[in-house]
Amino acid sequence: MPRVAVVDYDVCKPRKCNHECIRVCPINKTGRGVAIEASDELGGKPVIYEDVCIGCGLCVKACPFKAIYIVNLPEELEEEAVHRYGPNSFKLYRLPVPKDGHVVGLIGRNGTGKTTALRILSGELKPNLGRYDDPPEWDEVIRHFRGSELQAYFQKLAAKQLRVVHKIQYIDLVPRHVKGSVGELLKRADERGVYREIAEYLGLDKIWDRDIRKLSGGELQKLVIGAVLSKEADVYIFDEPSSYLDVAERIRVARLIRREVRPGKYFLVAEHDLAMLDYLSDYVSIIYGEPGVYGIVSKPYGVGAGINHFLEGYLPAENTRIRREPIRFRLPPSEAEAPRQGYRRKYMEWGDLRVELDGFTLEAEAGEIWSGEVIGIVGPNGIGKTTLIRVLAGRLKPREGWVASLGEFTVSYKPQRISPEMFPEGATVEELLKTANPSSTVPGSWLYVELVKKLRLDRLFDREARSLSGGEMQKLAIAIVLAREADIYLLDEPSAYLDVEERLSVAKIIRRLTETREAAAFVVEHDIVIQDFISDRLIVILGEPGRHGKASKPLNLKEGMNKFLEYLGITFRRDPQTYRPRVNKEGSYLDRMQKTSHQYYYT
């Protein structure tokens, strides 16, 4: 049985454990060879020889830093190996199949190979079929995929008959390699004579002369997407196009991409926002496996069935269960189920507010929040969502109006932006979690299982918090805030950097915390599917971004969603199997019918 052995060399510290993994390996004591030994090239860190390793797992249990993973896989799957980066490194099986004239979406957990698959299909990375020490030539790669649609695709790619443009995942790298203003870059990238039209549609004409080094994350994202769509190409690849964008901008980008889909063109999109993936894609491939260890690409499904299979955790074409429990969305609460005085405690209320800050004005209608309730806050970027959260948290004083708590209460607050300075110098992940709540580091406790384990923070326990990547810091900040015992939780964009399963895990635990602790929560979130999943009521903030925002009182979910979706110009329907919200394709019968009756959020 083939094995995938992975050593996380960022976590491995051989000097601190004195190679306990090598000492416990039974094969090293039999005289039949060495299964694991220290490598001088890797600074004494271990290398596992998979052809000798028997997969007993003793080294996995012996490693105090949880840096070793050994996975046994079916024999037939090894024949479908597509790429491996090196010894004891990530391995990818199968590839998504591009479809002429259609959009193929990729969905799966972080670290299971979505970006690797896209780099292979873009031609940036030649697949080595798992033979990192003896990579094959293109002829052998093409023969490997004979009889499939990928054979013709790779033949064209190898012969340079396909022009590919790729919107990368980490757009922060762009200003390091490209210089100039927004207008200069779009003009240089344009090959179709459409750069002015795209700039106006995405709102880039308003920042035409701004240097790209001074752009925000959302502005940079729109610039890169606009530059990619200005190119004349055969294959367009978008890796997480919704990052940094608010809901309105995500829908605008999705419409722009859909507008370009036509015969003779291939489109591939990796995305964690289920609403955007549903709106964009015609087909979906699910990537599953063990993050950082291996990834397996499923057969293509229709977009509705594919997302439902992912949420159900079972892939019928492969007869494979990828998750123990299905993810179920709840039906939205009716007005009769709204919190009422008498059986729930009112934690906070506020009068009509007016906040003035650096030329921006926010006005908010009076409202209140009850125990056991989650209030979502939605609106475009720069409209005052974070400002309202800061006022409610007591971090900012309103110019007019008041915020009152009914009794003493504690607040646990996660700001929008996370930086290393937020964490004490020298503190490890485990120490910070233990300080927030000792049970969060105890294996078997529900906080450990549902939060720490599902965010994969248990693997980072020995890491210093300030040394983590941006995404890891975000997950740590969320875990610390939710682990604390508090009366009110304030979370600003908790889904940023998280994959679909992590987002839904965080949403589930927020709901569970508010109910079991009889607490309350305000959640600012751009992922509209997560807002639907988590919220009891909504505050909708509209206006002119950067200048003036007007926040509604907390509305019941149907009324709030209907108001916000009308602003976005899209309609939702409810999936009958998983109850998840689905975006109607623009111009479809349901879309036209719901807009005519002004029922944008489920008829």
**Whether the predicted model's global pTM rises above the 0.75 cut:** yes
Q: Which helix (H) or strand (E) holds 249?
A: helix 247-259
Residue count of the chain, please give it: 603
pLDDT at residue 432, rounded to an integer: 95
Say which residues have a Cβ less than 8 Å from residue 474's Cβ, sequence separation at least 6: 418, 496, 497, 498
Q: What is the mean pLDDT of residues 15-28?
A: 89
Domain ranges of the chain: 15-70, 344-572
Q: How far apart are CA 266 and CA 164, in angstroms?
A: 9
Position with higher pLDDT, 31 vs 107: 107
pLDDT at residue 495, rounded to an integer: 87
Distance of CA 300 to the CA centre of its chain: 21
CATH code that applies to domain 344-572: 3.40.50.300
Q: In angstroms, what CA-CA distances link 249 with 107, 228, 246, 252?
A: 21, 17, 5, 5
pLDDT at residue 407, rounded to an integer: 65
Q: How far apart are CA 234 and CA 228, in angstroms?
A: 12
Residue 447 reports pLDDT greater than 50: yes
pLDDT at residue 55, rounded to an integer: 87
| Domain at 15-70, CATH class | alpha beta
Q: How many CB atoms lie within 10 A of CB 44?
A: 12
Q: How many CB atoms lie within 10 A of CB 164?
A: 17
| 504 torsion bin: left (phi>0), alpha (psi -120 to 50), beta (else) | alpha
Q: What is the mean pLDDT of residues 258-274?
A: 94
Angle CA(460)–CA(50)–CA(457) in degrees, nearest 5?
10
Q: How many CB atoms lie within 10 A of CB 33?
A: 11
Position with higher pLDDT, 214 vs 225: 225
Q: What is the mean pLDDT of residues 321-348?
A: 67
Q: What is the mean pLDDT of residues 432-445?
A: 92
Residue 456 reports pLDDT greater than 90: no
Q: What is the mean pLDDT of residues 245-262?
A: 91
Q: In angstroms, what CA-CA distances link 261 with 14, 229, 265, 336?
A: 52, 11, 7, 45
Which CB contacts under 8 angstroms, 24+ apart, belong to 542-546?
542/379, 542/380, 542/383, 542/567, 543/383, 543/384, 545/380, 545/381, 545/382, 545/383, 546/360, 546/382
pLDDT at residue 218, rounded to an integer: 87
Say which residues have a Cβ less than 8 Å from residue 40's Cβ, sequence separation at least 6: none
Q: What is the pLDDT of residues 482-533, one digit of tens each?
A: 999 988 899 988 988 888 888 888 998 898 888 888 899 999 998 888 998 8
Residue 340 reports pLDDT greater than 80: no
Considering the chain, what is the average pLDDT of its residues? 89
Residue 343 reports pLDDT greater than 60: no
Q: Which has the closest alpha carbon to 375: 198, 200, 525? A: 525
